[in-house]
Structure 1
Amino acid sequence: MSQPTPTKRALIVRGGWDGHQPVEATNLFVPFLEANGFEVRIEESPAVYADADYLPTVDLIVQSNTMNTIEAAEFEGLRAAIEAGTGLAGWHGGIADSYRNNSDYLQMIGGQFAAHPGKHPSERVGEQSDNYLPHTIDMLPAAADHPITRGIGSFELTTEQYWVLHDDYLDVLATTTQAVRSWDPWTRPITSPAIWTRQWGEGRIFVSTPGHRVDILENPNVKTIIERGLLWASR
């Protein structure tokens, strides 16, 4: 079956911490984007955000760039494009823990990774799996009729469970609640947004905190939500 003639532009910006498999993770969604009429360009740094001629022509930015830095001109280009209608979408630390050095970026996204509380200290072995815990992604009533989450109920994952610092300008579709364990310093359960959208100027932003590595992105619920989120966010 032939691919449709591209009618939209998608820009993938990836990099940062390799533990989130930014190359493999973003490659997972390229065929989906192409099948939905996007011409896909891939960049390995946010430098492209400073291209004032190109960026405003992009319909969707897919970002997977964890614990990196962004220069002032790069962020200004990104923000201007989003405010003018370019969509921004991503998952996990690739969007919610991208540029800790830029508070304006944190404001625009609306949620910043703070922690992923892990197993009991005696069970930790110094690997990423130290932070893999079974938990529930709880769909909210707003998710029932939203095009990103329609037909998807609450589901279980065993992976990193993000504790997110956030504001109330988010349109939250799903949450997850951190338990209180005997070794934790907090004294009551903490509920964080797990899937949200956000309107920024004319642009739409979509974030899924599930998506630590490719195996989680291949979970049918997570994959469907992200694919729908990419289409929803696009101009």
Structure 2
Amino acid sequence: MSALKNALVVRGGWDGHQPVEATDLFLPYLRDAGYDLRVEDSPKVYADSDYMGGVDLIVQCMTMSTIEKEELAGLMGAVEAGTGLAGWHGGIADSYRNSSDYLHFIGGQFACHPGKHPDELTGEQSDNYVPYTINMLPAAADHPITAGIVDFELTTEQYWVLCDSYIDVLATTTQQVRAWDPWTRPVISPAIWTRQWGQGRIFVTTAGHRVEILEDPTVASIIERGMLWASR
């Protein structure tokens, strides 16, 4: 029996986010959910309009990298026509810094991840791992992505996000002011959000720096639900 839906996984960019290993975690889930999968290592496929018209879900894990004009047009056009787009962390919220149109499309952009005290820095990725809370908003209580999920703690990168008001925020995280920080009041950033773009849905969570965070049962559940919610 053929699969009922088509999912495209686009992965690559900065290796520190383990794009292959990270997306591999969710491929069995998507297959079990009835998706026929195609995996690509660049956004070139977005420019294939004949193919993109039949994609129900795009899962993108492409940190930084670049995107060409026709590739972005293909991605945005597919979502406007009803294709879902889902992703986590820098794989969607820190992609294609060369394109202001992409940043506008996603609605929230990674700005920084304030790290440990300067005296604790070692030059490793762990310099940016801090304990923090993801706070669920009232809108999350009955949303298909977050129903039944309560506030939870992580020790990983805490994304400071620049965003607009056309995102529907399900959870936030607060960057506190520490003695060595130059800012003078707490900063609240979206940690889980959705966005309606034409006929399509976009899902983003900022948790998911590496595999060990994606394996957290709460984070994994949010991503699994988010992919299905976004899908056509």
TM-score range, shorter chain: over 0.9
SS of equivalent to 1:19: helix
AA paired with 1:45?
S
Q: Does 1:50 align with 2:23?
A: no
Give secondary structure in 2 for the equivalent of 1:137. Answer: strand
Instruction: Provide the residue aligned with 1:229 in structure 2.
Output: 226
> 1:11 corresponds to which residue?
8
The unaligned stretches of length 5 or more in structure 2 are none
Alignment partner of 1:199 is 2:188: no
User: Alignment length, in residue pairs?
Assistant: 232
| Aligned equivalent of 1:136, options 99, 119, 133 | 133
> Is 1:31 the counterpart of 2:28 in the alignment?
yes
One-letter code of the match for 2:138?
Answer: P
The equivalent of 2:76 in structure 1 is 79
C-alpha separation in 2, matches of 1:144 and 1:94: 26
Give RMSD over aligned pairs: 0.6
Structure 1 residue 56: Cα displacement: 1.1
Q: Deviations over 1:8-30 (max 9, x none)?
A: 00000000000000000000000
Matched position secondary structure for 2:12: strand
Letter aligned with residue 3 of structure 2: P
The whole-number CA distance in structure 2 between the counterparts of 1:218 and 1:154 is 17
After superposition, give the CA deviation of every residue in 1:35-63 in whole Å (9 maximum; x if it has no partner).
Answer: 00000000000000000110111000000
Mapped partners of 1:43, 1:210: distance in 2: 23
Report Cα offsets for 1:55-75 as digits up to 9, x if no partner. 111000000000110000000
Matched AA of 1:203: G
Q: Distance in 2 between matches of 1:213 and 1:56?
A: 31
Output the CA distance in 1 between the equivalents of 2:161 and 2:170: 14
Residue 96 of structure 1 corresponds to 93
Name the % identity: 74
| TM-score relative to the length of structure 2 | 0.99
Structure 1 position 179 matched with structure 2 position 185: no
Distance 2:115 2:79 in 1: 35
Equivalent residue letter for 1:222: V
Q: Does 1:118 align with 2:115?
A: yes
TM-score (norm 1): 0.98
**1:139-150 mapped onto 2 (5 Å cutoff):** 139-150=136-147
**In the TM superposition, what whole-angstrom CA distance separates every residue of 1:117-158 from its partner, at most 9, and x where no partner exists?**
000111000000000000000000000000000000000000
Q: Distance in 2 between matches of 1:67 and 1:124?
A: 24
